Chain A
Amino acid sequence: MAHHKSIIIKKNIVKTLILTEKKDTDITYNITMQKNSKLTLINIKNNIKSTDHTNIILAENSSLNCIYISLPKETIENHIQVDLNGKNANCKLNSLSIVNKENKIINKTLINHNFSESTSDQLFKNILNDHSYSEFSGLIHIKRHAQKTKANQLNKNLLLSDTAKSIAKPQLKIQADNVKCAHGSSTGQINQDELFYLQSRGLTIKQAKTMLIMGFAKEIIDFITIKKVKKSLEKLL
């Protein structure tokens, strides 16, 4: 059963929402952010399957900071649409997924820059083991009037096995002429020079690999500033 939830972040309000789903989910969140509001949205999904849609509309001077942590059972799909509808609206989407066995993570984002001088930053990181699979498809659409937009999008995949697979489809659609945009994707295994360096200091290969994997994850975890959530997450990983 699909659920719908509507959330309004009122003018000048600063809010943090922590969504930790315990059961399999199929929810659509519609979030409206009014002028000068700030929202930190932390979405942690551990050992569940889910297909969620999150649609967020940002008004002038509002700022959104989203952190998605996904450890799927079977498949997690995160569909995120952000509409930047006012000047100085800015959004950050950061995501870390750790995928094992034959599980799948699918992240689909659509960022609509509908007004001038808005910014968006996306960083999607996946750690893939066994026969797991990741898909990132992200479209940044900069509309004709959205001059002076700044948009970044990056997808990074760390493959821990030869049988894990990752697909990236970063896309840009730019209709304004004065914008700064960057997007990219990288996929690789554990860096052998880094591994050797740690081993040469006495760390076992297992310790060294764990340290490098945690290092890859840290960039996202560090975006979480709530100590309690951060600690429990580090424990989980």
Chain B
Amino acid sequence: MLKIKNLSVKTNNIEILNNLNLHIKAGEIHVIMGTNGSGKSTLAKTIVGHPQFKASKGEILFEGQNILKLAPDKRARLGIFLSFQYPTEIPGVNNASFLRMAYNTHQKSQGHPALDPLEFEDLLQNKLKIANISEKYLDRAVNAGFSGGEKKKNEILQMAVLEPKLAILDEIDSGLDIDALKSVANSVNSLKNKNNAIILITHYQRILNYIKPDYVHVIHKGQIIKSGDKTLAHKLEKKGYEWLITNP
């Protein structure tokens, strides 16, 4: 599904990703861990086409197509989704209208009919349950004044509505209490199937008590320095990143 080959990314002339390689198949969950500033979020933002992060070298193939020159909205319509570490607050833009427009844009690009507000409301009921978020957030402006946990649940709601092939969850666990963490993890598990893939970016092992990854990768200085299964995350939790950085 996703093949990242020799990817280097600079922002403000500083190299953040350096020859990074990563292959992800449909049905897999990959965890990316690493210290602050190691390049985790840069990788996420580069995949979805954030204008501040431009590849200086390498390619990103999504289902065989190099997406590096595609605008962010085109990448989204191909089925790539980023759950933001800090979801943007958008005052004045109604959450339900935004969700419906996003959904219909995806429908249209796949040659499916658009849903009117009533039809979409029906579809939303089930999605609200999956994301475990109250209906009242639909009538509010996108993320405006939401708590940290509500923002993350709203990201999951968008994921549930758009059903991406590849979902990148950037620190979906940060700022969540245990109950919210469990809820978000349950939502992610129920959205997971054999046709989609997830990249889970995190600092901590604790979310892996609920979401079982197929692979764990450690990023350091813009490169993947170690890959393994979920036991790698346990080791990191015990020994810290220093252990890996000094003994790669």
Residue numbers of A with Cβ under 8 A of B are 192-194, 196-205, 207-208, 211-212, 214-219
How many chain-B residues does the 8 Å CB contact rule pick out?
A: 30
Considering residues A193, A201, A204, which has the most beta carbons from chain B within 10 angstroms of its beta carbon? A201
Partner of A197, one of B84, B94, B97, B101: B84
Q: Check if A202 sits within 8 Å of B77, measured CB to CB.
A: yes
| B141 contacts chain A at the CB level, 8 A cutoff | yes
Residue numbers of B with Cβ under 8 A of A are 48-51, 71-73, 76-77, 81-82, 84, 87-88, 90-94, 97-98, 101-102, 105-106, 109, 141-142, 158, 162
Shortest C-beta distance, B103 to chain A (Å), equals 8
Shortest C-beta distance, A202 to chain B (Å), equals 4
Shortest C-beta distance, B90 to chain A (Å), equals 5
Shortest C-beta distance, B161 to chain A (Å), equals 9
Q: Check if A215 sits within 8 Å of B90, measured CB to CB.
A: yes
| Further contacts, 11 of them, CB under 8 A, given A196-B88, A202-B105, A203-B101 | A192-B51, A197-B87, A200-B49, A200-B73, A202-B77, A203-B73, A205-B73, A212-B92, A214-B92, A218-B92, A219-B92
Asked if A211 meets B76 with Cβ closer than 8 Å, knowing A194-B88, A200-B48, the reply is: no
Partner of B101, one of A192, A205, A211, A217: A211
State in angstroms the CA–CA spacing of A221 and B48 once bound together. Answer: 34
Asked if A196 meets B72 with Cβ closer than 8 Å, knowing A201-B158, A207-B105, the reply is: yes
Residues of A with C-beta under 8 A to B94: 218
Q: Check if A202 sits within 8 Å of B106, measured CB to CB.
A: yes
Which residue of chain A has the shortest Cβ distance to B73 in the bound complex? A199
Shortest C-beta distance, A96 to chain B (Å), equals 12
Partner of B141, one of A200, A203, A205, A215: A215
Q: Would you mind naming 9 contact pairs between A and B with Cβ atoms under 8 Å apart?
A: A194-B88, A196-B51, A197-B84, A202-B77, A202-B109, A203-B73, A203-B105, A212-B92, A212-B93
State in angstroms the CA–CA spacing of A217 and B84 once bound together. Answer: 26
Residues of A with C-beta under 8 A to B76: 199-202
Considering residues A194, A197, A212, A216, which has the most beta carbons from chain B within 10 angstroms of its beta carbon? A197
Asked if A215 meets B51 with Cβ closer than 8 Å, knowing A198-B98, A199-B76, the reply is: no
Q: Check if A202 sits within 8 Å of B141, measured CB to CB.
A: no
Shortest C-beta distance, B92 to chain A (Å), equals 3
Q: Check if A215 sits within 8 Å of B101, measured CB to CB.
A: no
Q: Check if A212 sits within 8 Å of B90, measured CB to CB.
A: yes
State in angstroms the CA–CA spacing of A211 and B72 once bound together. Answer: 17
Asked if A199 meets B93 with Cβ closer than 8 Å, knowing A207-B105, A211-B98, the reply is: no
Q: Check if B71 sits within 8 Å of A205, measured CB to CB.
A: yes
Shortest C-beta distance, A4 to chain B (Å), equals 38
Q: Check if A202 sits within 8 Å of B73, measured CB to CB.
A: yes
Residues of B with C-beta under 8 A to A219: 91-92
| Top 3 A-B residue pairs of the complex, sorted by shortest distance between their CB atoms | A215-B92, A202-B76, A197-B88
Considering residues B50, B87, B102, B105, which has the most beta carbons from chain A within 10 angstroms of its beta carbon? B102
State in angstroms the CA–CA spacing of A225 and B158 once bound together. Answer: 30
Residues of B with C-beta under 8 A to A215: 90-93, 141
Residues of B with C-beta under 8 A to A212: 90, 92-93
